[in-house]
């Protein structure tokens, strides 16, 4: 469960979308289905493939690091432009694409879900079902429960703090991935 609820790009984005009430159901569905697929592949034994081609992890880390840096800088820009922040907004196709990118371009997802969880759960499908259940529960609670924080985020300062924290986390993660590659 701690792998699922760790603060990262995907969870920060789901929280932000939940607060904005923008495409929450679609974003939650993308994240939950993606995690289910990743858990299933991990349980099926993906770690064996990566051990044969370790350069895949390096390429994913660099690409993911660049993506996380870009996302972090966008969050930093939002933090310094409070006029651009609103609690609600019309849903567009971009939140779904961003959720897909934050999931599938994030090397932490592969390292945590495929390698770590996969090595623990290899062939243990009941464990995988439990991990998927925890993941779905988490994303639903995070996405739809975020609205409970709406009164706090009615103030631009709260958005600035949230985006500042998101920027810091994304930039640190991105730089760490690139430096460690």
Helix or strand (DSSP H, E) at 89: none
Q: Give the SS3 label for residue 6.
A: coil
Higher pLDDT, 77 or 2: 77
Per-residue pLDDT reduced to its tens digit, 135-162: 999 999 999 999 998 888 788 888 888 8
pLDDT at 93: 62
Per-residue pLDDT reduced to its tens digit, 31-67: 999 999 998 888 887 766 666 777 776 777 787 788 7
Q: Which two tokens stand for residue 174?
A: 């991105």
What is the average per-residue pLDDT within 96-100?
Answer: 93
CB 106 within 8 A of CB 11: no
pLDDT at 34: 95
All structural domains of the chain with their residue ranges: 2-179
Higher pLDDT, 142 or 9: 142
115 contacts: CB under 8 Å, gap ≥ 6? 42, 46, 47, 50
Per-residue pLDDT reduced to its tens digit, 77-90: 888 886 544 554 44
Give dist(CA 28, CA 30) in Å, integer: 6
Buried b (16+ CB within 10 A) or exposed e, 17-53: bbbbbbbbebbbbbbbebbbebbbbbbbebbeebeee
pLDDT of residue 22 exceeding 60: yes
pLDDT at 133: 95
Q: What is the largest CA-CA distance in the chain?
A: 51
pLDDT at 44: 85
pLDDT of residue 28 exceeding 90: yes
| pTM value surpassing 0.95 | no
105 contacts: CB under 8 Å, gap ≥ 6? 63, 64, 67
């Amino acid at each position: 469960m701690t792998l699922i609820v760790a603060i990262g790009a995907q969870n920060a984005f789901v929280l932000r979308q939940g607060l904005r009430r923008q495409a929450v159901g679609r974003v939650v569905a993308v994240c939950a289905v993606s995690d289910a697929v990743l858990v299933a592949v991990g349980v099926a034994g993906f770690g064996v493939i990566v051990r044969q081609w370790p350069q895949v992890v390096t390429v994913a880390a660099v690409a993911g690091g660049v993506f996380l840096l870009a996302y972090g800088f966008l969050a930093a820009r939002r933090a310094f432009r409070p006029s651009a922040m609103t609690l609600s907004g019309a849903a567009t196709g971009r939140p779904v694409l961003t959720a897909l990118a934050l999931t599938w371009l994030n090397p932490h997802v592969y390292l945590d879900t495929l390698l770590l969880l996969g090595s623990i759960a290899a062939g243990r499908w009941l464990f995988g079902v439990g991990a998927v259940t925890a993941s779905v529960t988490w994303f639903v609670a995070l996405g739809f429960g975020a609205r409970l924080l709406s009164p706090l985020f009615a103030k631009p300062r709260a958005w600035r703090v949230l985006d500042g924290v998101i920027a810091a986390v994304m930039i640190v993660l991105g730089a760490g991935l690139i430096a460690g590659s």
